[in-house]
Amino acid sequence: MCALDVEVLSDQRIGRVYGAKDHDYTDGVICAKVSRYKERVHHADRLTQPLLRVNPKTDAEPHFETVSWDKALDVIVQRFTDLASTHGTESIWPYHYAGTMGLVQRDGLDRFRHAYRTTKQKCTICTALADAGFEAGHGTKRGADPRRMQQSDLIVVWGGNPVNTQVNVMNHIAKARRQRNARLVVVDPYRTRTAEKADLHLCLKPGTDGALACAVMHVLFRDDYADRAYLEKYTKDSDALEEHLRSRGPDWAARITGLSTVEIEQFAQWYGETANSFIRLGYGFSRSRNGAVNMHAASCLPAITGAWQHPGGGALYGQSSIYHLDKTVIEGKDVNDPNIRTIDMSRIGPALNGCEEDLQGGPPIKALLIQNTNPAVVAPQSADVKKGLLREDLFTVVHEQFMTDTAKLADVVLPATMFLEHDDIYTASGHTHLQIGRKLIDAPGECRSNHWLLQQLAKRLGLNHPGFELSEWELIDDLLERSGWPDAQTVHEQGGIDCAQSFEDMNHLNGFGTPDKRFHFSPDWAAIGPNSAGMPKLPDHWEVIDAATEECPLRLVAAPARQFLNTSFTETATSKKMEKQPLAWMHPDDMTTYQVVDNDWVALGNQHGEVILKAQAFTGVQVGTVIVESIWPDEHFKGGAGINTLVSADAGQPNGGAVFHDTAIWARPYS
Ligand SMILES: Nc1nc2c(c(=O)[nH]1)N[C@H]1C(S)=C(S)[C@@H](COP(=O)(O)OP(=O)(O)OC[C@H]3O[C@@H](n4cnc5c(=O)[nH]c(N)nc54)[C@H](O)[C@@H]3O)O[C@H]1N2
Ligand SMILES: Nc1nc2c(c(=O)[nH]1)N[C@H]1C(S)=C(S)[C@@H](COP(=O)(O)OP(=O)(O)OC[C@H]3O[C@@H](n4cnc5c(=O)[nH]c(N)nc54)[C@H](O)[C@@H]3O)O[C@H]1N2
Ligand SMILES: [Mo]
């Protein structure tokens, strides 16, 4: 959600894209891939006309015929109506994610679900585990203002890779280092480009952050770095925590994490000595079966030293609670029937293949209406997702900008606008601004916005809801008015609103978001999600990860690549050229053990399938950890199975969440 300055060359063309200089978080900086957005907007392969599949989905090459919008809409409405009468509207599953982050274009599908009484979606693919872990202690999703990183003397990037995923963080860190000689610590299972810049890189085993956090807290209590007055005033259960941590010191954590006690002691000492330490909590370390527990454990640190009390101190995971938006109309919340089934989006593979638990006694899924996401590639157990999408009795509609792997398996493909071609409003999570993006250019061909499509379907299906009657701009205006913000025109003209609250509020000095306003060291997991069985009462190493075994002795982290945005930009020539090809980064000792040759083919596999790609020797991991940066489309892997073939669709506890970086695998040379 960087603020952008976009050069407009004509009604149809953009030129260069820059980070907005007058936006104090973006600060003129954006990542390379977004600065090349023109390549994506004006790409020759953009979908520009509605398409109908004319050959069986099981044929290797899809064939589509071009049709008018009227014809495409008729086909969809006819099929949906037939399914509604034979299997009920719950057999239709509108499925979306965050290809656009605009609230109107992204979340309108929720209104469609509610108004049409279709199966609903539990959104778990990205933030569910991290949200659960952060809210466990804080009771809200809000934290230190990211611009205050510049006032910090120790910045800890924990389980994220901002050089790849959020380059603005690096800009603010660079300022702190230049101006105050601030230290940078990175906690990550591989030497990322972020870790390369660190004063200390804690290269731990994936899924062991709970142990590291416990050992650091042990030292903070042991060496008198705990702020007793702060603990007394602002936290709950600190005595129980201190007692619990006595047996969880650096030796214990070294065995679990694979780090040395020296490294752990060093980090704990720096953290203890620095009043204004700033932890930037990433998503990456929450993408494990124990991810919520690990997120909670790491988020306890500033509550022990009282770092929250100091400008530049505290922690930031996300800021979504500061916008207080009333999304009733956009999301159709007023017509949401709680008795209608909700399916976990990360379990789309098992769900499409008839898994009883996911279907909850309801009808099988007979139709999908997909916007803003590419589940054939991005979702766990992707071989199962594809098997499901190949069902001849499944009717799939994909509204897309490009012929993605998901679109290739659709019955109807509809061309979508891009964010510069429609109006929308955006909240941020890494910064604090609410921003409006107006349509700047006309879309090519017959591309239509998500909102337009939903309006057309609603009209033809006879769905009544005020949200379908309003234009995009009117929806934005209505949202702002209901939420107590100025009107859309005003917000747009002033370049958005900085919704940051006071230092005291952002840093929880007026109390945390929990009912008793205290930070909770012993969370009530049962209140956060339906599946809290076995979760530890206090921060700990929770041994539920997909541990290495004799059969699957290695652990895979399937992290995001720098030049792609999930699978967006995998279609642009420059991004592809810079990423080259999918690579398995393996420790040289592992290559020897498993007879894998550098720069030669390797097969990675487990019970879910097998993936073939080139191996590359890499010393920036512990022995036993394999890294694959992606998310490459399937065709770039030999044999056509992408990296998420290996990732399990198990739901993280307590409230779901995909476990992308928690995968035991074997490796063999492939010839
Ligand atoms: N270039 C690029 N930018 C992106 C994206 C992209 O695909 N490409 N995706 C966007 C999206 S949707 C999101 S949600 C954000 C995510 O941005 P981040 O917050 O950075 O989260 P991840 O990318 O999932 O984190 C990946 C990092 O977590 C590390 N990690 C994995 N497992 C563990 C663990 O057990 N412990 C620790 N300490 N670290 C671990 C990985 O090695 C990797 O370096 O990025 C956004 N930005
Ligand atoms: N291995 C592995 N897998 C992962 C992750 C990982 O770290 N490792 N990260 C996970 C995470 S955090 C996330 S958020 C998911 C994200 O996965 P997705 O949400 O599927 O993200 P993209 O692959 O970029 O797909 C978004 C699609 O939306 C389309 N799109 C963009 N704007 C619009 C629009 O306005 N209208 C319509 N109709 N379409 C639009 C784009 O063309 C693009 O094809 O992937 C997850 N998968
Ligand atoms: Mo994400």
Q: How far is the CA of 220 from the centre of ligand 3 (A)?
A: 33
Residue 72 neighbours by CB under 8 Å, 6+ apart = 50, 51, 52, 412, 414
Q: Name the β-bridge partners of 66.
A: 51
Q: Give the torsion sign (CA, 347, 349, 351, 352).
A: positive
State how far the Cα of 581 lies from the Cα of 579, in Å rounded to an integer.
Answer: 6
What pLDDT sits at residue 125? 98
Q: CB burial class (10 A; 0-12, 13-18, 19+) of residue 336?
A: middle
Q: How far is the CA of 171 from the centre of ligand 3 (A)?
A: 21
| Torsion-angle region of 534 (φ positive above 0: left; ψ -120 to 50: alpha; else: beta) | left
Q: Whose CA is nearest to atom 39 of ligand 1?
A: 159
What pLDDT sits at residue 435? 98
Q: CB burial class (10 A; 0-12, 13-18, 19+) of residue 280?
A: buried
Q: Whose CA is nearest to atom 46 of ligand 2?
A: 378
- CATH of 144-317, picked from 3.40.228.10, 3.40.50.720, 1.10.150.20, 3.40.190.10, is 3.40.228.10
pTM given for the model: 0.98
Asked if 664 and 548 touch (Cβ cutoff 8 Å), the reply is yes
CB atoms within 10 A of CB 193: 12
| Ligand 1 atom with minimal separation from the 627 CA | 42
Q: How far is the CA of 408 from the centre of ligand 1 (A)?
A: 27
- Using a 6 Å cutoff on CB, does residue 376 contact ligand 2? no
Report which secondary-structure segment, H or E, holds 187. strand 183-187
State how far the Cα of 422 lies from the Cα of 441, in Å rounded to an integer.
Answer: 8
Asked if 375 and 644 touch (Cβ cutoff 8 Å), the reply is no
* Mean local confidence (pLDDT), 201-226: 98
Q: How far is the CA of 190 from the centre of ligand 1 (A)?
A: 12
Q: How far is the CA of 22 from the centre of ligand 2 (A)?
A: 29
- Using a 6 Å cutoff on CB, does residue 557 contact ligand 1? yes
What pLDDT sits at residue 459? 98
Q: Name the β-bridge partners of 570.
A: none
Q: Which residues of 141-154 are buried (b: 16+ CB within 10 A; e: fewer)?
A: bbbbbbbbbbbbbb
Ligand that lies nearest to the alpha carbon of residue 318, given by its number in the listed order: 1
| Ligand 1 atom with minimal separation from the 98 CA | 12
Q: Whose CA is nearest to atom 10 of ligand 2?
A: 126
What pLDDT sits at residue 624? 98
What pLDDT sits at residue 411? 98
- Using a 6 Å cutoff on CB, does residue 207 contact ligand 1? yes
Strands 314-316 and 277-281: parallel
The token duo for 584 is 């398995």
- Using a 6 Å cutoff on CB, does residue 95 contact ligand 2? no
In the chain, % of residues over pLDDT 70: 100
- Using a 6 Å cutoff on CB, does residue 444 contact ligand 1? no
Strands 51-53 and 412-415: antiparallel
Q: What are the Cα distances from residue 287, in Å, to 252, 523, 558, 618, 656? A: 23, 19, 10, 23, 10
State the Cα torsion 471-477-481-486 to the nearest 10°. Answer: 180
Ligand that lies nearest to the alpha carbon of residue 191, given by its number in the listed order: 1
Q: How far is the CA of 446 from the centre of ligand 3 (A)?
A: 29
Q: Whose CA is nearest to atom 14 of ligand 1?
A: 126
Cα 329 to the center of its chain, rounded Å: 25
| Ligand 1 atom with minimal separation from the 195 CA | 44
Q: What are the Cα distances from residue 358, in Å, to 344, 355, 378, 645? A: 7, 6, 19, 19
Give 147-185 pLDDT, tens digit per residue.
999 999 999 999 999 999 999 999 999 999 999 999 999
Coil, helix or strand at residue 235:
strand
Question: Quick one: pLDDT band at residue 49, thresholds 50, 70, 90?
Answer: very high
What pLDDT sits at residue 485? 98
Select from 201, 285, 647 the residue to mutate for testing ligand 1; criterion: most ligand atoms less than 8 Å from CB.
Answer: 285
Question: Quick one: pLDDT band at residue 94, thresholds 50, 70, 90?
Answer: very high
- Using a 6 Å cutoff on CB, does residue 426 contact ligand 2? no
* Mean local confidence (pLDDT), 625-633: 97
- Using a 6 Å cutoff on CB, does residue 164 contact ligand 1? yes
What pLDDT sits at residue 194? 98
- Using a 6 Å cutoff on CB, does residue 25 contact ligand 2? no
Coil, helix or strand at residue 4:
strand
In the chain, % of residues over pLDDT 90: 100
Asked if 483 and 325 touch (Cβ cutoff 8 Å), the reply is yes
CA atoms within 13 A on the CB side of 101: 13
- Using a 6 Å cutoff on CB, does residue 657 contact ligand 1? no
Asked whether this chain's domains 4-126+324-498 and 144-317 adopt the same fold, the reply is: no
- Using a 6 Å cutoff on CB, does residue 346 contact ligand 2? no
- Using a 6 Å cutoff on CB, does residue 164 contact ligand 2? no
The token duo for 198 is 């660190």
The token duo for 537 is 């009462």
Select from 45, 566, 629 the residue to mutate for testing ligand 2; criterion: most ligand atoms less than 8 Å from CB.
Answer: 566
- Using a 6 Å cutoff on CB, does residue 97 contact ligand 2? yes
Q: At what angle do helices 209-222 and 261-273 cross, to 10 degrees?
A: 60
| DSSP H helical ranges for 167-290 | 167-180, 209-222, 228-234, 238-245, 250-257, 261-273
Question: Quick one: pLDDT band at residue 647, thresholds 50, 70, 90?
Answer: very high
State how far the Cα of 2 lies from the Cα of 496, in Å rounded to an integer.
Answer: 12
Q: Whose CA is nearest to atom 40 of ligand 2?
A: 372
CATH class entry, domain 4-126+324-498: alpha beta
The token duo for 496 is 């958005």
Select from 45, 104, 373, 648 the residue to mutate for testing ligand 2; criterion: most ligand atoms less than 8 Å from CB.
Answer: 373
Q: How far is the CA of 591 from the centre of ligand 2 (A)?
A: 32
Task: Report whether CATH 2.40.40.20 matches the domain 554-669.
Answer: yes
Coil, helix or strand at residue 158:
strand
Could you tell me how many helices (H) and strands (E) the chain has, helices first? 27, 26
Task: Name the residue with tokens 């060496």.
Answer: 223
Q: Which residue ranges make up each domain of the chain? A: 4-126+324-498, 144-317, 554-669
What pLDDT sits at residue 197? 98
What pLDDT sits at residue 216? 99
Q: How far is the CA of 284 from the centre of ligand 3 (A)?
A: 9
| Ligand 1 atom with minimal separation from the 192 CA | 44
Q: Whose CA is nearest to atom 37 of ligand 2?
A: 372
- Using a 6 Å cutoff on CB, does residue 570 contact ligand 2? no
449 secondary structure, DSSP code = -
Question: Quick one: pLDDT band at residue 514, thresholds 50, 70, 90?
Answer: very high
Asked if 187 and 211 touch (Cβ cutoff 8 Å), the reply is no
Q: What are the Cα distances from residue 628, in Å, to 155, 360, 392, 481, 558? A: 26, 35, 33, 45, 5
List of E strands, 9-160: 14-19, 51-53, 64-66, 92-96, 120-122, 154-158
* Mean local confidence (pLDDT), 34-60: 96
Give 55-73 pLDDT, tens digit per residue.
999 998 999 999 999 999 9
Residue 372 one-letter amino acid: N
State how far the Cα of 610 lies from the Cα of 593, in Å rounded to an integer.
Answer: 19
Q: Whose CA is nearest to atom 25 of ligand 2?
A: 373
State how far the Cα of 588 lies from the Cα of 670, in Å rounded to an integer.
Answer: 17
State how far the Cα of 116 lies from the Cα of 217, in Å rounded to an integer.
Answer: 51
Residue 221 one-letter amino acid: F
Q: How far is the CA of 97 from the centre of ligand 3 (A)?
A: 9
Q: Whose CA is nearest to atom 12 of ligand 2?
A: 126
State how far the Cα of 325 lies from the Cα of 333, in Å rounded to an integer.
Answer: 13
Give 239-298 pLDDT, tens digit per residue.
999 999 999 999 999 999 999 999 999 999 999 999 999 999 999 999 999 999 999 999
State the Cα torsion 186-192-197-198 to the nearest 10°. Answer: 20
The token duo for 220 is 């903070």
Selection from 168, 83, 112, 190 nearest residue 585 by Cα? 190
| Ligand 1 atom with minimal separation from the 190 CA | 42
Question: Quick one: pLDDT band at residue 552, thresholds 50, 70, 90?
Answer: very high
Q: How far is the CA of 431 from the centre of ligand 1 (A)?
A: 17
